[in-house]
Structure 1
Amino acid sequence: MSNYLDAHHRQQIHALQRSWTARSDWPTWLLLSATYSAWFALVLHVRELGQLATVALLVPVIVLWMSLQHELLHGHPSVWRWLNKLLGYAPFALWYPYTLYRDSHLLHHRDEALTRPQLDPESRYLDVPQWQRSGAALRGLHWLNKTLCGRLLVGPLLALGGLASGEWARLRRGDLQALGMWLSHGAWVGVLLWFVNSQGLAIASYVLATLLALAVSMVRSYYEHRPAAEPQQRSVLNEAGWPWRWLFLNLNLHLVHHDLPGLPWYYLPRVYAERREEWLARSGQFLVKGYAELFARHGLRPIDSPQHPWH
């Protein structure tokens, strides 16, 4: 537990972690069951719902699934890593193998490296060599990606392009772990697409649903981190409303999560609310009043430069 917490705050958090709710983690088990059930219910009833309605309803389910995968890789709802991997391995979101997401995201939790290109695998910034290698078109896409509306449009393209480039480089180097991971993931994606198509949902429709879900998930990460001298001032406190905080399982309170990565999603708002002013001071007042504020201010205006200020 972070050493900046005072004794009383530590005691409060220990009490939450020792509670029956946290030890059983029944909210996460319940949400997992509900998400699996919702996905299968939609796919099995596509002929009654129609293609467009099914796609529209699948989008929030897939966004929630990606948020649940994040909980799984942080040790919920089971203490067994292999079981959490099994629970989260289904490629409902198609693009990212669970193992790759788990390993890269845990590297992202090195707070001293947050936002730094080449060090933070989830950095949205470019260093000087990357920027110099980019042509005018790619630079334009990166600037567009710094607006929130632009992020919805080109964010998935840039993310998947970066994923393909990095993983292809690993495969060319003969990385056997990467080869096994992608063969397994590809096989399960093939099974999933065969299944949804057999129920009447076009493969193109399902791919569209996953791309839309990826775009929605990028609303959360749009201004989740910023460059700052102190690592704890690089993670946002976004006081989002419903349904955003539900879809993102309270990760909008991102500094709380980074400081207490083992705290389950349903306790993040409580821990934040009890010491709100202290969290704000720790963040250097890195506060956003909700995603509507970001859309209003930066829907069409870049929030900062694609280039990292220190690299």
Structure 2
Amino acid sequence: MTKDQWLSVRKQIPDGAREPWTVMLWVADLLLLAVAWNLWLADSTALQLLGLALAGLATVQLYLIMHEATHGAASANRRFNDFIGHCNGWLIALPFLVRRRFHMAHHTWTAHPLNDPENRGMIERFSVMTKKQERTLEFVWKHWIPMIAANHFLLNWRAPFIAKAKGDSSPRILKEIRFARLYLAGYLAAAVLAWSLGHLLDLVLFYLITWVFLFFMVELLNLPHHAEAPLLARDADRLQFWEQDGVSHDCKSLPLWSRFVILNFNLHIVHHAFPSVPWYRLAKVQKLLGEHELGHAPSQTHEWEFAVKNRRRPLLQLMGHFFDQRG
């Protein structure tokens, strides 16, 4: 993609949330989660399973709407946008402020081995891994155990505390720590309320099952978009938005699934080119790029096909050869 092509599309697509669709979907997902909880408390196994299915759908979309909020695309009102981000972050146990800091760095420094926190974390992990740890990692990968997502969530919790322990007492880090503690206080209050109503065990089981499913979905949705993409040199400058189509991938669109379940998250090239454009405009951006003969290749696979194919391959073969520094 050239700068002129990028600018041509940029002029035709407004930034940010100009319509209420994301907020409306957010409210619907909160209501769906409440319905799912009530079904979980039913005596019928069939209703409980239906409740888990609805909770899984709602939670995945809350994660995706939180992603919208990290880009300021959930609501035109900044405070309300951040409230949505914090609310969803609390519900799925992913601190919003840390997630936003890491994710913005990922967009700014996509494909950089050091400044992109996603790449830096992989390099640090693979470069110190023993053969035994490698075998464990491959076992986890091939058996669809979502430890990559679990570690990602855990890192977002630990990051500000690690930074403070290393001497970073900047206002940003202290604010992230305050909100992390506020989240924890909220979990304690929810647990006390559930215990007082006699539903603490119900809440724990409901939450854990839904959370594990979310981890599975986070890996399913995120891994295809940068796997086997080349890394930049360590001293490279950051890529401009119109240059990032070479280091990110789209997934093939599937009817209903792509637009209404995963909110066009598969259109990752256009998202990296125009990160503040909300999910419901990405298809239009894709169409405009198509007029320039840009966009995803016809051979692109969808998320499920990518997972089925690549879970059979060694993880280090899929993406570790860019990170493994052991020689």
How far the C-alpha of 1:8 sits from its partner, in A, is 5.2
> What is the aligned counterpart of 2:80 among 83, 95, 118?
83
Q: State the match for 2:235 in structure 1.
A: none
**Contact preservation (8 Å) 1:69, 1:88:** yes
Provide the rounded CA distance (Å) in 2 between the counterparts of 1:305 and 1:77: 32
1:227 to 224, 227, 230: 230
- The CA deviation at 1:209 is 0.9
TM-score (norm. length: structure 1): 0.80
Q: What residue ranges of structure 2 are gaps of 5+ in the alignment?
A: 233-242
Deviations 1:140-174 (A, max 9, x none): 344457x5x55553323432454455444235346
Tell me which residue corresponds to 2:61. Answer: 64
In percent, how many aligned pairs have the same letter?
A: 20
1:65 Cα deviation from its structure 2 partner? 0.2
Match of 2:94 among 93, 96, 100: 96
Distance 2:96 2:191 in 1: 17
One-letter amino acid of the structure 2 residue matched with residue 35 of structure 1? D
Q: Are the structure 2 counterparts of residues 34 and 161 from structure 1 closer, same or farther at C-alpha, using a change threshold of 3 Å?
A: closer
For 2:4, give the aligned amino acid. Answer: Y
The amino acid across from 1:42 in the alignment is: A
Offset at 1:31?
Answer: 0.5
300 and 286 in structure 1: CA distance in 2 versus 1, 3 angstrom threshold: same
Q: Which residue of 2 aligns with 1:304?
A: 318
Question: Match of 2:313, SS?
Answer: coil
Please give the per-residue CA displacement for 1:233-282, whole angstroms capped at 9, x wherever unaligned: 1111212313244332112111101111121111111221343274646x
The match for 1:239 is 252
SS across alignment from 2:305: helix
Q: 1:6 to 1:192 in 2, by over 3 A?
A: same
1:36 and 1:157 mapped to 2: Cα distance?
Answer: 23
Instruction: Answer yes or no: is the 8 Å Cα contact 2:86–2:95 preserved in 1.
Output: yes
Q: Which runs of 5+ in 1 are unaligned?
A: none
1:62/1:153 CA distance change after superposition, 3 Å = same
Q: Tell me the equivalent position of 2:236.
A: none
How many correspondences in the alignment?
A: 297
TM-score normalized by structure 2? Answer: 0.76
Check if 1:209 corresponds to 2:210.
yes
Tell me if the contact between 1:58 and 1:209 (Cα under 8 Å) persists in the aligned partners: yes
Letter in structure 2 aligned against 1:126? M
Deviates more, 1:96-105 or 1:243-252: 243-252
- When residues 287 and 238 of structure 1 are mapped into structure 2, their CA distance, relative to the original with a 3 A threshold, is farther
RMSD (Å), alpha carbons: 3.3
**Residue 292 (str. 1) matches residue 290 (str. 2):** no
2:139 & 2:114 partners in 1: Cα distance?
21
Residue 109 of structure 1 aligns to a residue whose secondary structure is helix
Contact 2:59 2:92 in 1 (8 A): no
Q: Which sits farther off after the overlay, 247-256 or 93-102?
A: 93-102
